[in-house]
A and B are shown apart, each in its own frame.
Chain A
Amino acid sequence: MQRWITLALSLGLALPPAVVLAAFAVSGATALATGQPLFWPAQPVTLTEAIGMHDTAEIVRQIALGANPNSRYDTWDILKRYQHVSVTPLEAAVATRERYLFEMLVAHGALVTPEDARTLHCFAVQEHAPDIAAYLAERFPPPASCEGVQMPW
């Protein structure tokens, strides 16, 4: 009886850590061999999805590798919960309300024309992004009205 209790106690102590240890050892070995772990590997994302996740490094990587910062990209379940939208990187930055992302995109080649500025300004007001609206207002006269402006959503 005593032996069985000792065995059960030893197993009780060792089993949960051993399972976790083995799982992460396999994941670690996979990471070292292939570059990505089994648990929580990097997921492929579009440029606008990277913006939605504030992933500055991924933004810079994709633009450096040829992604156009002025094109439209599909974005799933990030800017709009459970919805698919197609937006430009600058529109995605407005949706995050983060001025630093907007500025980073401009620094890496995103263009703000007077026509874009009007749309972006109206979109910034709609999305409650006053910092970005202020950034745009410093460079372009704010639109008198947003009537007729085609918003991303």
Chain B
Amino acid sequence: MAWMLGALTALALAGSVYRVPIQVADSLEVIQRVIPMPSATAAFIDGLHNSPTMLRPLKEVRTRLLVQAGEALGGRYHLVFRGYHAIAGAILIALFVWVCRARTWTDVAALTAALAVLTGMHTFVGLFREAFPTNHYLIVAVSTLATFALAQSRGGWLIDLAAIVLLASAALSFESGLLVWPVAVAAYASGLRGISKRGLAAMTLLVVLYAVFRVGYLGKQGAGVGERGTGFGAGALTEAEQIERFGNRPLVFYAYNVATAAASVLLSQPQVGRFTVASAWNSGSLPPVFIVQIGSSLLTSLLIAWYAISRAPAGTRRWREPAMLILGAVLAVSALMSYAYAKDEIISTAGVFYAVAAYVAIRGLIETHRVGVAFSPVGAAFSPVGAAFRRPTATWSAVLLVVISLTVTSAWAIRSAGLHFRLRHGAFEARAEWAYILSPTAPQTWPKDSHTRQVVSRMRDEALLHPTVAPAMLPKWTEQWWGED
């Protein structure tokens, strides 16, 4: 049943993701760069040196391989690029189901709710709405979940090797790929031994080598104040405004970004560093999207907090359990990675592990109620729902609990539907960008190389020939419930 739920989620996701055309921004430039390259190795080497701040050689390699696959299929680039994205999404869902390990019917109920949390998180959209031309945030999310799955396994040298390969490939795809390492460390600290101490040591060595290679050998720089525009308070700061306000005291700015990135995962506010709820309130209207998002996140975070500070029947502290420790580690590191500017995608992996923690907490909620066990008084004080548990026979408390559960998961279900709404918006925008490519009035902007021009022309045709719904055609209420784009 759990796998059937996973399959349905993957199907729903694939249907919407596949409709999004290959995008132009942050994507076509990479595609055009790798086409004339003689080999994947050349693409890898180019990826080592083509930016003073970024080290993403596997992005170039992956792009080149996908272009070649598209050519091999007779110019079906949409099928290859968008199919790759949809399949990567299906793998993410499969890994999520795998690490949740639903065994009973009540586990399946918890998993259903957790899948809505996963797909309803505002950070989840970023894994699918854009691609560069492959979405490296999604690669990181998949790699970290796979690492968790490896840590849950029985172990062995092959598992260690797989974990090392995952770390290397994720880190060379995107800087956030280093998140694989804290996941492995936290999993080990929580008692999982699938990845051995030796494997962990090798991964640690790899992280050190990466840092030395990146900074010492390649001389890549980190981001600083004014790197790119970001949200601040109820508004946003341009690059120049950041330098003007925080150029002399960058730590204040960094602290704001780190704190708000973590809060964004737990409370759905601020988003991209900006308290959008405050600006909506100031403008005199508070659309239901804010109540749905903040309400569902707040109650779910409270549930996770209750679970984390309660004790298992064996008396052990539950915050030491794998899902809780890993969420803490990923959230902390992701927030630190957001120090220079806020971006939902940077915290998207934390959003995935938030959903895993939600699953564990929901399962704990059902289990606690089912067996009527006593739990931490601190936890009970933390949640009025928890207090009701201590009188498991009280019908009113049970009814209240069911109503609250129904309300919260309804909110997550609404948010989950919003994923598809946002992907429709993404599809429209990605398709619109192609209208300006190979413009008849600007032949000077066309690719010089005929082969590249042929590939771009084919991609353009594929994007333009598949109509998408225009946001103006969507009912007005959709923006009220899922937010303006």
Using a CB–CB cutoff of 8 Å, the interface residues on chain A facing chain B are: 1-2, 5-6, 8-22, 24-25, 27-32, 35, 37, 39-43, 45, 50, 52-61, 64, 78, 104, 107-108
A6 touches B420 (CB 8 A): no
| Cβ of B432 under 8 Å from chain A | yes
A107 touches B366 (CB 8 A): no
| Cβ of B466 under 8 Å from chain A | yes
Residues from chain A with Cβ under 8 Å of B473 in the complex: 43, 45, 53
The 8 Å CB contact of B467, one of A27, A32, A61, is A61
Main secondary structure of the interface of B (DSSP, over half): helix
The 8 Å CB contact of A42, one of B366, B369, B468, is B468
A10 touches B436 (CB 8 A): no
Count A/B pairs, Cβ under 8 Å.
174
Question: How many B residues are at the interface, by size bracket?
Answer: 35 or more
A21 touches B406 (CB 8 A): no
Q: How far is the CB of A131 from chain B (nearest CB, A)?
A: 18
Residues from chain A with Cβ under 8 Å of B464 in the complex: 57, 60-61, 64
Q: How far is the CA of A105 from the CA of B466 in the complex (A)?
A: 20
Residues from chain A with Cβ under 8 Å of B402 in the complex: 5, 8-9, 12
Q: How far is the CA of A6 from the CA of B398 in the complex (A)?
A: 9
A29 touches B15 (CB 8 A): yes
**Which residue in chain A gives the minimum CB-CB distance to B5?**
A21
Residues from chain B with Cβ under 8 Å of A43 in the complex: 469-470, 473
Q: How far is the CB of B234 from chain A (nearest CB, A)?
A: 28
**Which residue in chain A gives the minimum CB-CB distance to B392?**
A2
Residues from chain A with Cβ under 8 Å of B439 in the complex: 107
A28 touches B392 (CB 8 A): no
> Residue among A10, A11, A24, A39 with the most chain B CB within 10 A?
A10
Residues from chain A with Cβ under 8 Å of B466 in the complex: 35
Q: How far is the CA of A78 from the CA of B473 in the complex (A)?
A: 9
B405 touches A13 (CB 8 A): yes
A17 touches B412 (CB 8 A): yes
Q: Report 15 cross-chain contacts, Cβ distance below 8 Å, ordered by A residue.
A: A2-B370, A6-B106, A9-B109, A14-B409, A20-B413, A20-B416, A24-B12, A24-B417, A25-B15, A28-B11, A29-B11, A40-B420, A53-B470, A55-B428, A57-B432
A21 touches B435 (CB 8 A): no
> Residue among A9, A19, A59 with the most chain B CB within 10 A?
A9
